[in-house]
Amino acid sequence: MAHFDLSLYETVAQRLERWWTKYENGRIITTLHHYDGSTVIFRCEGFNNEDRMIATGYAEEVFGNSPVNKTSFLENCETSAIGRMISNSPIGHTGERASSEEMAKVNRVNSAPAQTNGYATPKQIGFMKSLQRGKGWDDLQLLEYIHKALGVDDVVVETLTGVQASKIIEGMKL
């Protein structure tokens, strides 16, 4: 597995310093989009000095998948969403697009043992549920979409394979 040189990436703190230098009268708003005790998704919106939204960013974290996520996974996720929003903004980033915190997460995931049971991960299910809420769908509408997209009628969210979940997620993003 490839490991990334974290010195090539900005920290979120460095991005925030650049943000407040450029947008001293701006605003940053974070919103909790999903929380089920094990997975959290935050959205961040950034507003410029004229109070116009100029960028958004999302982040997702899973409880316990790193030392910091055993004690502070909500806070870690919110910080990551802020970093993504700044990276997506007109001031962008000075190094690589991802923050050093995000790349540390990639290094952790690449070092973790692969899931072998074949079922969708809690992270996939959480993201699917978040997309469902974003579309304003109830559980039946999601199930109907899954059946139509996969051409089957004998699965529910909890019995999807990882491959099926990925296909559903990609389709829901459109």
Number of domains observed in the structure of the chain: 2
1 occurs within a structural domain: no
Contacts of 149 (CB under 8 A, 6+ apart): 167, 168, 171
Q: What is the pLDDT along the chain (174 residues), one digit of tens a residue?
A: 455 555 666 788 888 999 999 999 999 999 999 998 889 999 999 999 999 999 999 999 888 877 777 888 889 899 999 999 998 999 986 655 455 555 555 555 545 444 445 778 878 888 888 888 888 888 888 888 988 998 887 777 778 888 888 899 989 888
Residue located via tokens 């990436």 = 9
102 occurs within a structural domain: yes
| Whole-number pLDDT of residue 40 | 92
Residues 135 and 160 in one domain: yes
> Containing domain of residue 95, as a range?
6-111
Please tell me the distance from the alpha carbon of residue 139 to that of residue 137, in angstroms, as a whole number: 7
Do 94 and 127 contact (CB within 8 A), yes or no?
no
103 occurs within a structural domain: yes
Distances (CA, A) of 11 to 66, 78, 126, 136, 173: 18, 14, 26, 34, 28
Give the distance between the most distant pair of CA atoms in the chain.
55
Helices (H) and strands (E) in the chain, counts: 7, 3
Listed residues 57, 85, 111: the one ending a domain: 111
Residues 76 and 128 in one domain: no
144 occurs within a structural domain: yes
